[in-house]
Structure 1
């Protein structure tokens, strides 16, 4: 059945989550057929089984079973962090110490092997759009039976009744989607929802309203206590996103809402869903501003018209587009204590002419990278010679290519988006992901000290295109949540930094969030001249830079052994770098 379902979904379609009851014959095939999907268990079935079994074990006392389900068991299931989960389990064991059979049942049947499938501390990381029970399936089963009326009937009769049931459901869905496009309540007339009404479903607006109310309750601790569960599980703005929109007075934009909630068409002509583009709402906003300007005094119209004209036609204002700066700034190179800087990586590439894609210059790039960013990687031969002398020479044999992203202040996040999401233009999603991630672990407070989590969130959560230094990626700190969220090894390598090999280091995840035996990805970033990031493509056996000592202080016990898995590659780096520094010192 699961194999047929996979064929029905189509090639390349992977569900983010699959929800079932604890049917023994179904659990193993789900992991085999959909190995990359998170498997969740229905909380409704779990609660029913829990109440019945505890009642039986406690001398068939139904009151005890009901109290257990609504008390200690509810606190275990709703624990939003691992620490809360551990405290709730300890509380259960302490209160029911006389009922060892109950404790054994809870651990052996549910917690030991399946806690990641229903406890919020783990399911809050899964995009499930609010589906944590199979009640929708049960209710649809009941609807179909009501249409059939009898368990007996010919094939053509059953087919017509099932078809009529489906047509009725499609009609109801169309009515609901059309209502979302045409109508909205008074609660959503404020500026906060002005870009969303008519473009997203009513249900998503109600969920955002609930999160807005929660944001007010969190008050000034919104960044510390948000958790960003709504962003991870529903693809909707979480409390800290809403707080940013309120403080900025700009409202919530569509790019914060998952496409699932923006699909307002179904049926004929909608085989390929049409999603509302953000450009459309920008045009609509501009038109409203035009109407507002035309209603003002003629002097205001004249001044604004002049500003718009100068922006659209700079050639009439006597300005010329500046060419690339080919000269170095600073004192002449001959002086012994010269502060002359090297040309930046971007300036070198500009001077060297058009880019050459990886399939033209290097055929050794991995298949995975070719699929995710075809044509964006360039041959290592195109690295400017001025930087090769400052790159550790022993590393050249491991570098197969590189990807130079747009240098607009978002370059670090663009590199992450290119590697993990396959598109550097999705750097805003990486920023949002990191904002949500740093609110999950207490360790991030130590990573970012002395800065506060609120200030860090403000720096990272930038969606305005080109940005200044105040919104740049911080080379050390921002790589820790990146490694932990994506279960990846993050390597930073310095190029063109005359201060030596710094910064060269390796960041491992702070916790084993996906029940893995080791990180599943390796991303290598090059920090160019201390002001630009590029993405490197290295062979799988490249030497690994040092792991910061504070990783051992902050990492969870479940990942401490991971360091030993990279011992050979770590030793190779130490050996090569010692030889490189020795030869460099002699020269």
Structure 2
């Protein structure tokens, strides 16, 4: 018997593929990567015994992160096969069979709402509700599956929401908030039954979501239809999020209201064409020109023109016209179709609009489990399957590191690059601004240099191929009863001299101020650990910056302070510090020659490799984060602006190799030289740009610093010269 890895061997095409322009054969891919792992098993003839020989114990690929998506793990058990056969013989529909295989229905003699709350607790859902005190009636109910919230932490940029009706016999509207993964699969973040569709109800739902996400995870783009109460609630709870209106709903409303105003189908189609050209205008100048043309062409239809102007363009053009929406990174999500699709799946499962809360929850829970399984399988496909259309060398660094969806966007853009070349104006850079992916002129430049597309140029969401699990430590009660009793016994048994010594020790403890624990490194610098006071670290910064510090987020003290701070800043949990180490290590080695030049020696490159390659808890001093060297890695890896603040030195780090992101869409994070992650108010003074950025940045990154000239001068005006603003020495382990 031979035992081998499922990725062993090489792909063997069974049909010859024709490479002509009209070829419509399906896209293929393979998991095979020539893995050498091999074992041989031999059974003895005399006894029921086996001998196992390991021919090769090594794999040439990392272990699978998810079992979902692998044929072996997807096999049915013996009992499941029996159940499947019985239900198939009874002519049960396949989708009902699948649901039955995933759940066991248990009913209890309780009210519908009591049963629903019990089921939510049984499956460890996060649940919040409001009720009328006089009648003890639940009015609003919010619930979310922990895995769904972990998915939201992993893919927090986009939220799509819509309300659906006829899902229960009580006629309560069901709100479903939907997110999108790197593989462009939707997941349900949370559900809510609301008594009324009013600002107060929506605001309560959003505030609850904000609360269960610890207040630090905020979406940057929210897509809805034109529900005024919903829009006002978003502005109230998520004021910094970019709110977009669904283009599909707008087109549907224009069709309903305006089509009847035209006497012929031909005139309506012409109006609709002109209207769509306005909506998809690529610039404000083009928008003004096309709008002027529409107003002139259809001046004889004042009602239609008045409707589109007063209802949509004048108040909301920045929320759905491409000239404005394409300035933010919405990753292609400009409609609520993802939410509509999720609603359609749910309603197909429910089958009837007269179902109870209990039956509705059972269907939703089953859908969530299937949803999460499919998402993990899609991650595994992106990690292991190499589609043959992505074999060209420009995708070499990206295969297995970014989602297949991102590769498909890049494949289309690389075809544009053949005709556009490196002409930035002709390119338009729409894909860079809306998806965070290299656009045509960037790809053309890499092809011209005979370089693969760098992994660092891909926005982090497309590189996220796992679910960031949030493990909150349970707080336990801390008491000292046993220790006090031991002390009293020790005191009573001691002579007078020993008693005086013990009392002296107690007085020393009493005089000592209660602070966070401190760790001192070999250079004598103190690192304060977790505290709950927001202003505890204000004195650790130059006095001129104190008025601009909004709040402080501390991180756990285990030697990975700096990496934990970065993870928390970019939207992950602190426990993702190992992923940050891996990301920075990949960034360092992907651009090895550039960083050797920047750091000035191969020895420093090796030192940083050694620091980043440590993935254990409580690393020693030699494996802590160092600044300013790692500031360049962080900014370039995650394509963000990093502020490093301390009493000794302050810098601003900018990405080295990417074109500037529009200022409204830039991610700016600030970390301080204490054990915390420090967030500052918008408009704060900005430290001078790190000198090595100006020396070693790529030409495409030249304009990153334009937006900070005034704020840098403000910093210089309020900060004294004793704070270094040039890269002259290392600070170890910012956190």
Could you tell me the TM-score, scaled by structure 2's length? 0.43
Residue-by-residue CA offset, 1:428-479 (whole Å, 9 max, x unaligned): 5376242778xxxxxxxxxxxxxxxxxxxxxxxxxxx9578585899xx947
- How far off is 1:53 after superposition? 1.9
Query: Mean alpha-carbon deviation: is it higher for 354-363 or for 72-81?
Result: 354-363
Q: Unpaired segments of 5 or more residues in structure 1? A: 273-352, 377-404, 438-464, 494-521, 536-587
Distance 1:489 1:426, change over 3 A: closer
Alignment of 1:314-333 (within 5 A): none
* Residue 95 of structure 1 pairs with residue 319 of structure 2: no
Distance 1:124 1:426, change over 3 A: farther
Alignment of 1:251-330 (within 5 A): 251-266=452-467, 270-271=469-470
2:268 counterpart (62, 65, 74)? 65
Per the alignment, residue 490 of structure 1 pairs with 710
Per the alignment, residue 385 of structure 2 pairs with 183
Q: Unpaired segments of 5 or more residues in structure 2? A: 1-204, 472-523, 528-536, 555-560, 563-626, 664-690, 728-735
- How far off is 1:523 after superposition? 6.4
- How far off is 1:4 after superposition? 2.7
- How far off is 1:368 after superposition? 4.3
Per the alignment, residue 546 of structure 2 pairs with 366
Distance 1:435 1:141, change over 3 A: closer
- How far off is 1:245 after superposition? 2.0
Alignment of 1:49-448 (within 5 A): 49-59=253-263, 61-69=264-272, 71-221=273-423, 223-266=424-467, 270-271=469-470, 359-360=539-540, 362-366=542-546, 368-369=548-549, 406=628, 417-419=641-643, 427-429=653-655, 432-434=658-660
Question: Does the Cα contact within 8 Å between 1:76 and 1:88 map onto a contact in 2?
Answer: yes
Distance 1:207 1:420, change over 3 A: farther
- Aligned positions, number: 358
Question: Does the Cα contact within 8 Å between 1:409 and 1:469 map onto a contact in 2?
Answer: no
Distance 1:162 1:56, change over 3 A: same
Query: Mean alpha-carbon deviation: is it higher for 421-430 or for 71-80?
Result: 421-430
- Structure 2 CA distance, aligned partners of 1:95 and 1:28? 35
* Residue 21 of structure 1 pairs with residue 225 of structure 2: yes
- How far off is 1:424 after superposition? 9.1
Residue-by-residue CA offset, 1:493-552 (whole Å, 9 max, x unaligned): 5xxxxxxxxxxxxxxxxxxxxxxxxxxxx76699999xx9669xxxxxxxxxxxxxxxxx
More relative contact order, 1 or 2 (CA 8 Å, 6+ apart):
2
Alignment RMSD: 4.4
- How far off is 1:213 after superposition? 1.6
Per the alignment, residue 462 of structure 1 pairs with none
Per the alignment, residue 327 of structure 1 pairs with none
The structure with the largest alpha-carbon Rg is 2
- How far off is 1:152 after superposition? 2.4
Question: Does the Cα contact within 8 Å between 1:20 and 1:40 map onto a contact in 2?
Answer: yes
Query: Mean alpha-carbon deviation: is it higher for 145-154 or for 423-432?
Result: 423-432
Distance 1:212 1:473, change over 3 A: closer
- Secondary structure of 1:140 counterpart: helix
Query: Mean alpha-carbon deviation: is it higher for 85-94 or for 37-46?
Result: 85-94
Considering fraction of residues, name the structure with more helix.
1
Distance 1:406 1:9, change over 3 A: closer
Distance 1:435 1:149, change over 3 A: closer
Per the alignment, residue 337 of structure 1 pairs with none
- Secondary structure of 1:80 counterpart: coil
- Structure 2 CA distance, aligned partners of 1:410 and 1:426? 9
